[in-house]
Every structure is written in structure tokens, then in C-alpha cells.
Structure 1
């Protein structure tokens, strides 16, 4: 497997020497959205639209809903959902997923910047004033039109929370007319060992929807919760706040999705919302900050390779392979543990 990855890297012109020589001075800096100037924000927005206008690399007869390069990321997320959430793979897999997104923007769309992150804690007290969602020309658009029939958000086991404030199509900003092509998919598909049905990849064009929900961000994504994660003494304590495997709760990870609502709250197709990568960059940032407190001992893992950590599922180890479909070759978990190694070279403000 290592030889195959070496062949892939050489074939695509990726220098192992350059990757090994990453230093803080060379690292790409990922900034919080409000730290970006208006031109930097516009460049990132334009790069997302660029992916929307590039052809998909997936066979249309197998994946009819994949109409463009952005959809390749959505399909990949759908395909692996039941192996990369509420378990020991969540953090490693999504770290590489965001990196692959960043690489595609830079290499396929000429984007010069990095993936921004959304520091939820800065918006925990006033979500509607967030520069990420204020609907301005340099935001990621705004709330959705209010839909009185929007379903109440509930966990797979039936614990429910206050509904959001929208439910319909976003109303203004750069993604007002942003199409989504896949889903929606029912959360009941999130079950151990259940294969993803073929209809999950059907073409279903519609608008980008949102339902901003202050309940989630104020309770689960505030600075107090971030501080508790950073103070965790083990990866199990960290994940208990970030994303526990229990089905009847929510957490910083799930609440970030629920805060945006709409398309973002769909476990399977949430990468269709442009805020997805900013949310997961923040998750990666908090994880990286926790790791940096004790680098020698925090390549720690907890959980299995199956959603909700069923007792008979394989435990994650550093040798566990994670898959990325057409986006990239498989990768050992050990190769996802350091943002400054194994081809990564990035840091957060």
C-alpha cells in the first residue's frame, strides 16, 4: 500500500521532499472568516463557484446526481457517511476531506488562499449578526425563507430540539441561486453496517436551504464548550464534547450543522452548503490546538470504524485505512494526525 501511494504522489507531481520539509514559515495559514479582507472573501466565494462549473469525474450512470466537481465531494461524503461519523474516524477523515477541498480550490480553480474557518464562539450570542451569514456580498449568504412546515430537528432516537428560524431557500448574498443536486436523505439511513442505497445518488435539483438556529450555537458552540474541549485530558473526553457516539445527544459538531440548518443539517449531503468546510475547519482547528498541547502523546484515538461505535465494530488504530473514493487514494490514519506532516503544511490563526 505504501508503494502504491508513493507511485500516486510521484505521478501527480507531489514532492515527498517538499512535504517533509514543511516548516511554520512555509505553512499555509487558515484564517477565521472575519479575519479575511473583502477581496479574500470574494476570492474564496468565486473558487466555490468555480468547482460548481467544473465537470464531475464520476460516471453519470452510477451517480446521476453528480453534475459538477463540487458534487464529487458530496457523493464521497454520502458514500462514507456511515463510516466517518460518531466514531473514531470523524476527526482524521474530515481533516483530510477539508485538505482535499482546499487542494482542489487551489489546483483546479487557481485559488491562492486557504480554507477559512468559522469560529462559532464569536457568534454564540448573536448568530444573525455573523459576517458568515449576514447575507452581504462577502458572506456565505443568509438565512432561509421562513417555512412554517419545517420539521423539528430530532436525533435518530427521537430526542428533539427547538426548530430553526427559516427552512426555505436562502434569500440574499453570493449563494442565493446556488443549486444543490443530491438528497435530501433521511437520517434513518445512518445505521451500522447498512449499505447506502443507490437512490441516495439520484439527481434532485433545488435551492440551497437554511434555518439558522440560535439554540444550538448558544448551548453547544460557545467559548465555554471550546474551553472544555481544550482542557480535556484524553481523546475520549475531547470527543465526549465534540462528537460522542451516543445517538440521543448533540455536541459541538452536530450543533454546528444544526445551527445552520436546512441543507447543512442533512447528515449525508451537508457538504452542499458552502459553510460546511468552514465548520469542519473549525473542528480541525480545535483538535489541532488540543494536539499541540502535548504533541508526543496526542496522536490518540478513540472509537471504531462504524457509525455510533457498535460493540462488534473494529477499533480504529494508526494503521486503519480511510477511503476517499475518486477524490484521493486511501490514507492511513497515522498520516492524518499532524497538520505539518505527510503532505500537509497548514496552521490556524
Structure 2
């Protein structure tokens, strides 16, 4: 059998953008037992969604065959040539060799204690397509986000609207598209399932619907990180650290693009739900996300009353998506918004308070970080003083909704997850606009002393720059004046028309004051 190989995908001879991507992927993950360890931020599908020169991540159907897994090469044909090379779309970074044994063995095949998500996708494939220009995808057959057309040479700005200002046609389209994504199997992707993560031979790949793929991705990152034959349960790849905001932005872009491809509607954009102006869940109605009974079941008049949940009942750290192993859903979607006075939705003032923190993140870069914008938005930190521990903002909304949303492992099964995180992304955009495209202060001054700390800051700086570029040029949000009233120092554009198709939202002049004081008792969950 003749296979290919040559240079490591991230060698010194890699294109500059690949080197930048490596820096992004090797963002530090902080451990309780070690001050800093190299880890991966967007393990599951970072290269896919960014669509730069290297593409990997996710389990592509074409690359889960016995041949592809044995050779460790994922360079599918596009229009007759690997990675669309004859069409100038990409290239497979390999040369012919005579013996497949020269390709390194699958790391987690020998070491059952290794987490295959680390250094993605080397746990499964050593070589993947490198797409050129504006081309993207596992076979370079798609366009980068924001680019369209046969040659990916057209750009457009997508407009994300508050769900309550959608007209009837837009609202019904959104609900129908979600339903279609729940019922349609993905033609490009499969998911990994297993009852024993420590035994690679037990791994299986299953078909999955497009929406369930989205929910599975979130579940996949939630599993504890395997290190030295034990699990690190206090941290995951997409939560409680700097990766939280960019990772979830990429996740939204992924499902948004998958729905565009499914429906052929390239103008489709996800709406968002501004919960900061609600005393209770005003979109939990039959016309929108559905009402629920006293037990949390979605009532029959809703699009979502019969939605099943993938990967439910899978808190066991040694499994991946138990329910998918048996090809069954693990119960139906549930939601039970709280009626308790002390557990209501976060307020608009809470959002404004969070936006004042100028450091994207601070040491030790986890849920205990003080004066941290990321930690305030994620909800482990009181946004008003930057010191008291939560739950607030993002975390509080998950708790308030109850049911499926309150269980982080399976929360993405509820379409409320999309609307919620789209508004979290709205808040992130506001803070980014104040910071500028290139952050002047990527991390706190007190963490810049040691060589390791300086390298950490450099990696975070690169990550934030790429984070800024991921959707800045082609995603914008509408505002809804009749739903929220900004203070006078947050002026909206004079020509604001919330029902217009090409509306842009206002620049915000944020205050820069910070709260001061001593660290208070940690009550975070």
C-alpha cells in the first residue's frame, strides 16, 4: 500500500498562518496542581470553523473509514483530486512513501490514558487538507465564514436580530430551519460514541442529525480532561478559562453555517435573546420556544415538544455520549424557568457592569479570576465589583431556565442555548469594540513577570486577535429600542431602524472604572 507523509503538520516550514494557528491551539490551560500546562482550547472543531490553511477537527465521514484511520491521512477528494488541489483550492501536505509504518501510530491507541482531544487532530489523523485563500472545509470544498460564491470571492454581512423583533415570516423560518436540522442527518459528519474512553477499540462512529451534531460537540468538550490516567474534573476545554467566549462563538458560527448549507439560504442568521430586559422568560411561548407544564415538559403546541435529547444521562467521565451508543434519545427536552424572586434573570445593569472590565482575563485564568471580563460574562464573578463569586450572567441564565439548560453536559440540546449564547456573543462584541481589534491589554499586568507568563500573554494575545477576526467583518447585530433603553452615554446610531435588513448597531462609549477590594468567599458551583 502506497501512502504519503513528510513533514509534521506544524513544522517550522509550515506557512505563517499555520504557525499562528498552532499558537492559538496551544493556549495555556491552568491546572490546580501545576501552575501552567500546555493544552488545547478549541479541540473539537477549531480548524474546521476557522477555515484557514490547515483544516482538521470534527469527525468527517470520509475520514472515519478503516483506510483513513489506519493511514492517519484525512485528505478527501474534491472534484476528483485530494483537497481540490487540481482546482487550486488546497493541498494535502504529504509525499509518497512505500510503507504505511512510517506514519506514527495513533497516540491514544497505545496509551489508553491519553486524551485524544489534546493536540487535535493528531489523536486520529497526522495529515489533513490545507486550504488556500478563502477556501475551507475538511476537503476545501467550502468557503471561509463570510465568503460565498463558486470561488468564495463574494462577501456579505449577516444580521443577527433580537428574536422578539423578527417578523412572522422570519420567526417561522427560524423555527422551521431548526426543526429541519433536527430531522436531517449530516452528510459530512459522524459522532464518536463509546462506553469506555480508556479502550480505543470500543469507539464507534454514528450517524447524527445536524442539530444533534451541534449538541454533541458541546457535550464532547465537557468531558473531563484525561491526564496521567486520571481525570481533571475542575476544568474542560471550553469552560472556566479564556477559551469560553471564542469557543462558543465558533460553535454558533458552525451551526449557523450548517443550516445555511442545509437550506440553501445564505442570508440566514441566528437570532439572539436579550434576557437582560425580561423579568421572566417572555419567549417561552407556543409561538417561540414553547411553554412548559409543571413537570418541565414542553407543551404540544410548540415546535419543540417532541425533541429528544442526545447524550443525556452521560455524566460518567469514562463515556462519550451514552445514548448515542444505543441510537436512542435519552428523554425529551425539558425547561422549567424559575419563579423564585431571588433566582431571576440577570438585569441590563449587570450587563453594563460586566462591560466595564477591560482585561479580557486575569490570573489564574479560571473561575476564580478577579476583575476579569471573561469570568464576569461566564458568570462566576459578580460584574458589579469584580470580586464576589457567582452565579451571575451566563451561568445564572442556565440555572434560571432549569431542565435541560441547567445541565451543562446536555444544555445545547435546548434551542434556548443558541439564543442565549448569541446574546453572550453580543456582549462580547461590545467589549471588543471598546478594546479595539488588537487588544492593548491581553492579560493583567501582575502576570507578566516570568518567562512562562509572558509566553502565556503572547498566546492569549494571538488568540484574541484571531477571535476578533472570526466574525467581526461579517456578523453584526440589531438593537431593539422598544425592548431595552440604553443610558444616554450609550447613544444609538441616528439612523437606527430595527426592522431594516442591513442595520448595524451603535458604538458604545464604555466607562473604565474598576471595583477594588479584597477577595470574598468562593461560592461558585
Q: TM-score, normalised by structure 2?
A: 0.49
* 1:49 to 2:189 alignment: no
C-alpha separation between the residues in 1 aligned to 2:347 and 2:331? 32
Change (3 A) 1:220 1:209: closer
SS in 1 for 2:237: helix
Change (3 A) 1:178 1:60: same
C-alpha separation between the residues in 1 aligned to 2:437 and 2:192? 46
1:216-261 deviation line (CA, Å, top 9, x unaligned): 9965521110111122232243234212557973121111212221
Match of 2:78 in 1: none
Unaligned runs of 5+ in 1: 148-166, 190-195, 304-311, 321-330
Count residues with an aligned counterpart: 294
Of residues 336, 344, 368 in structure 2, which corresponds to 1:211?
336
* Contact preservation (8 Å) 1:221, 1:255: yes
Match of 2:81 in 1: none
C-alpha separation between the residues in 2 aligned to 1:216 and 1:43? 35
Match of 1:118 in 2: 273
Tell me how far 1:37 sits from its aligned partner: 0.7
* Contact preservation (8 Å) 2:336, 2:403: yes
The structure number with the bigger radius of gyration is: 2
Match of 2:59 in 1: none
* 1:182 to 2:311 alignment: yes
C-alpha separation between the residues in 1 aligned to 2:207 and 2:465? 31
* Contact preservation (8 Å) 2:380, 2:389: no
Match of 2:503 in 1: none
Unaligned runs of 5+ in 2: 1-9, 11-17, 19-52, 56-89, 91-129, 194-202, 223-235, 362-370, 382-387, 445-451, 479-525
* Alignment root-mean-square deviation, CA: 3.6
* Contact preservation (8 Å) 2:190, 2:206: no
Change (3 A) 1:63 1:122: farther
Change (3 A) 1:292 1:208: same
Tell me how far 1:104 sits from its aligned partner: 0.6
Q: TM-score, normalised by structure 1?
A: 0.72
**Higher-helix-fraction structure:** 1
Match of 2:284 in 1: 133
C-alpha separation between the residues in 2 aligned to 1:245 and 1:126? 22
Change (3 A) 1:335 1:292: same
Of residues 319, 324, 331 in structure 2, which corresponds to 1:198?
319
Change (3 A) 1:274 1:201: same
C-alpha separation between the residues in 2 aligned to 1:226 and 1:40? 27
Change (3 A) 1:60 1:234: closer
Of residues 271, 277, 294 in structure 2, which corresponds to 1:146?
294
Tell me how far 1:52 sits from its aligned partner: 1.3
